[in-house]
Structure formats: C-alpha cells, structure tokens
C-alpha cells in the first residue's frame, strides 16, 4: 500500500508533463440546454483528478449566477474568475502555473474573433490546454463569429444537442420567447427553449403573423 502512495505523485507528474507537451483546444458547442457547460465541468474535473492545475473563467456579462461560479443547468458548479476580456487570461497565465483553462459562454466576450484565436494559439504555445463552451448560433440562427472561428482550429469539436421542447427530436437552436430583438439577452428557461429546425421555423412564422396582426391593430 505504501508503494502506491509513493508512486501516485510520480504518475500525476508524468500525466501533467504529457499534457504540457500536448496542449490542445477542446470546443463544446450547440444550443442552450444541450449540456455544454456540464461537459466543460467534466473535462476540468477529470483533469483536476489527474493532478492537472486547472482554472475556469466566465464573461462579466453573464449575471445569471454568483460572480465566482459557473453553474450548469443540472446544477454542477465550477469556481470561476469573472473577466471582461480573453486577454486577461493571458495575463493570469503569465503569473500563475496552470495546465488547463476552462472558458464558459465564449460567445459573450467582446474581443474580436481573430484576437481570441491569437490569444488561444499563444496559450497553447505555452503548453496550456483550453476547454471552451459556447453557443454556435443566436436565436435568429446566425452563427456566433468567435465559435465559427474556433471550430477549424479545434483539436476536439463536440456538437451537443438538447431535446426539442415541442416535439422531442434533437434540438437545433435556442428559440427566444420574448420579442426583444437585441442579439444578446442573458436568460435561462424563462427566456429560451430549445427547438428542432421544423418547430423553430413554425414558431417563427407564427411570431411574424402575430407581429403583423399587432401592427394592423395599431393602424
């Protein structure tokens, strides 16, 4: 039993060295309620158990939970640092020894997508693995530019699917329940629901009819 206790630190050190040697980018994307943040939690938890030094970050605009927590829809929690820009991660990495970082809701950061790619490349050149989660599209099915830029450079790309709230098929997009047309509106089940392509198109047609009816009533 004693030899096991003595060899575990050595194995952990070997695992950390191997990860340092093979830094990579792992992207989890898809609609809301598809398990992206849960997968981020699992990736970092697995690395932490193996002895890697990990840290998580979240965008400052995400006001759904505590400032220092990332919380998935199934209530898994990660300690996190709230930041305004991805550039802050570079500064953090220069002053702290880390093997892997997790970034939740990457689409909410205001940095130019090309700059985020540059930051990620620099982090990986410094042997830091990056795990990100983010929406692939907004509620109008327009791709989020940063996720679109990260997809081709990812070592691992996982597309997650929620269950359509209307028919039970695989969901395709996050449908916004309100009529707010701002691209970014922070919310959860009270504001959005996952829908498949058919149900989304049907609901959007119904919404346009309702909007037109409201306009006629106002004349």
- For residue 43, which phi and psi values (nearest 5 degrees)? -60, -50
Give catalytic status of residue 169 as yes or no. no
- CA angle, residues 68, 71, 114, in degrees to nearest 5: 75
Q: Where are the alpha helices (DSSP H) in the chain?
A: 2-21, 36-49, 87-95, 113-125, 145-150, 197-218
Nearest to 46 by CA among 35, 56, 54: 54
| Spatial separation of the C-alpha atoms in residues 134 and 144, rounded to whole Å | 9
| Cross-strand bridge partners of residue 55 | 101
Whole-angstrom CA distances from 46 to 130, 153, 196 are 14, 23, 31
Q: Which of 66, 77, 88, 105 is catalytic?
A: 105
- Strands 100-103 and 129-135, by their bridges, are parallel
Catalytic residues: 105
């Amino acid at each position: 039993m004693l030899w096991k206790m003595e060899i575990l630190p050595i194995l952990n050190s070997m695992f950390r060295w191997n990860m340092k040697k093979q830094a990579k980018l792992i992207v989890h994307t898809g609609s809301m309620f598809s398990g992206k943040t849960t997968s981020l939690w699992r990736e970092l938890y697995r690395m932490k158990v193996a002895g890697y030094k990990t840290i998580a970050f979240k965008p400052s605009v995400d006001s759904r939970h505590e400032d220092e927590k990332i919380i998935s829809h199934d209530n898994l929690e990660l300690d996190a640092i709230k930041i305004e820009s991805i550039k802050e991660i570079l500064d953090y990495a220069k002053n702290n020894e880390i093997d892997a970082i997790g970034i939740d809701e990457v689409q909410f950061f205001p940095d130019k997508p090309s700059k985020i790619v540059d930051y990620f490349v620099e982090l990986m050149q410094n042997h830091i693995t990056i795990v990100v989660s983010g929406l692939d599209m907004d509620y109008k099915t327009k791709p989020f530019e940063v996720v679109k830029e990260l997809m081709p450079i990812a070592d691992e790309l996982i597309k997650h699917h929620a269950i359509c709230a209307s028919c039970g098929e695989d969901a395709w997009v996050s449908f916004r329940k309100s009529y707010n047309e701002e691209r970014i509106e922070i919310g959860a089940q009270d504001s959005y629901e996952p829908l498949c392509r058919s149900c989304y198109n049907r609901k959007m047609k119904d919404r346009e009819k309702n909007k037109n009816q409201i306009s006629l009533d106002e004349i």
